[in-house]
Amino acid sequence: MVFDEKALVIILMSLLLIACAGTQTIPEPESPGAKLFKERCTKCHGLPGPKRHTPEQWKGFLVMMEKFMLEKGIKFLPHEKKLIQEYLYRNAR
């Protein structure tokens, strides 16, 4: 299949949207969980909005991200994970 121009524009716009997701506002921005989430979860990619996933999905992602961080030597303490997890659960889809 060959991409036509329209498809290309749509793809480029989607990429732009993904790139901009990092600057979005998130719920309860002043809470400790939100601050930690913003600080820890933007090291490798833009901030994923809490509403993007259900609590079950967040649980899986956090396990996955913990592994990625371990591989990169980024420390992620259990109480930090707990705070972020609670924050995400509260504000999940």
Binding site for ligand HEC (CB under 6 A): 40-41, 43-45, 48, 52, 61-62, 65, 68-69, 72, 74, 84
Residue 93 C-beta-side C-alpha neighbours within 13 Å = 10
3 versus 51: smaller Cβ distance to ligand HEC? 51
6 versus 68: smaller Cβ distance to ligand HEC? 68
2 versus 17: smaller Cβ distance to ligand HEC? 17
